[in-house]
Amino acid sequence: MTEPTRAQLNQLADKWLKGTLTPQEKEILDKWYDMDATEPLTWTGKDNSEEELSNRLLDNVKKKTKGGRTLKMNRWISAAAVLLISASAVYLWLPKSENKDNKEQVVNATPIKPGTNRAVLTLANGEKINLNDTASGQIAVQSGIRIIKTPDGGLIYEAVNPTTNKNTAHDYNTIEAPLGGQWQVILPDRSHVWLNAKSRLKYPVNFRGKERKVELEGEAYFEVTKDKQRPFMVVSKNQEITVLGTHFNVNAYPEETAIKTTLIEGAVVINKKTHLKPGQQSIFNQGVAKVVMADVEMETAWKNGRFIFDGQDFKTIVNNISRWYDVDISYDPALADLHIGGRISRTRNLEGVLKMLEGTGDIKIKIEGRRISMTK
């Protein structure tokens, strides 16, 4: 299927709002959304006013299940809730009771932008390098290893003299992605690590001996190079993951009650006794590891530039948003048992993500600078 044109997408969006979309046309919209097209549609409907348009959109996106407070929106509805409406988008965000002055105040407010490639590298000698302010190319040489910054937010560790490396003492580097940041590292063994916001990875400049061990605080996705003679180990809090070569995600933020390890490919062992198969997740809490089937797409969405909130608890959703946008979010305890379904690109401004949440109808959101409050 060829990618639909912008004009075709506008027509399909109009038909979706009118309720005349066929299953085949809905499939086209779903596939377009799965391609993560970030440019909004400009819908050209014939509502008499922005308020009429806003009311009609909200009526379309509110979907509640019958027996509880769990709210679900399918992927196209969640996109439509934050999609569109170019010049009229702000009116979808505003409560119906807002007056014109308040609308103008929101329009003029400075948007809160998403996170970017930002990180600080600490070398073995204690020197700190702000990577987002450093030019691409070689930035340091340590223990026979050249450290290279790439233009796309990454570091590569490259051996200069492998013979020299075997005789050097252990040197450790630490890379930290702050709130509102992310980074990638290709380690000396060619293992690839993606760091999420508010995450820290400590690792040797050169792997030697019988193991390859790194320390993680926060969240990271690993693609580990196979080496049967030297297992790769990830230490987080009281958990130790051992692998030979595999792809997996580790969520080990200090503020979260449990460490979640999700296996995508290969095999891992948690604390030398809990074995995971692809598609499984270990939830390690208070010394006990529970193995469940994972929603791999949701657990790795951050790496692929998306938020996916299908079935996550409200606290997890709030934490994910606050870390990526570097904002302080408080919420009414009455929202704690609310579960929201939806997905949206992490490249959107914060207001777009909050529109999706408020579009469920059970959340009222107030923005004051970088402080966000949510009430029922």
Tracing tokens 């923005």 back to the chain, one arrives at 367
Rounded Cα–Cα distance for residues 12 and 22 (Å): 9
d(CA 242, CA 167): 26
Instruction: Tell me what percent of the residues of the chain surpass a pLDDT of 70.
Output: 74
Nearest-angstrom CA–CA distance, 10 and 292 = 41
**For residue 181, which amino acid is it?**
G
**pLDDT tens, residue by residue, 84-109:** 333 333 333 333 334 344 333 333 35
Does the pLDDT of residue 218 top 70, yes or no? Answer: yes
Given a cut of 70, whether residue 332 has pLDDT beyond it is: yes
* Cα separation, 172 vs 125, whole angstroms: 9
pLDDT at 59 over 70: no
> Virtual CA dihedral for 16, 22, 23, 26, nearest 10 degrees?
-30
Weakest-pLDDT range from 46-60, 195-209, 298-312, 316-330 = 46-60
In tens, the pLDDT along 5-47 reads: 767 777 777 777 666 778 778 777 666 655 544 444 555 555 5
Name the more confident of 160 and 258. Answer: 258
Other CB atoms closer than 10 Å to residue 289's CB: what's the count? 17
Cβ count near 127 (within 10 Å): 9
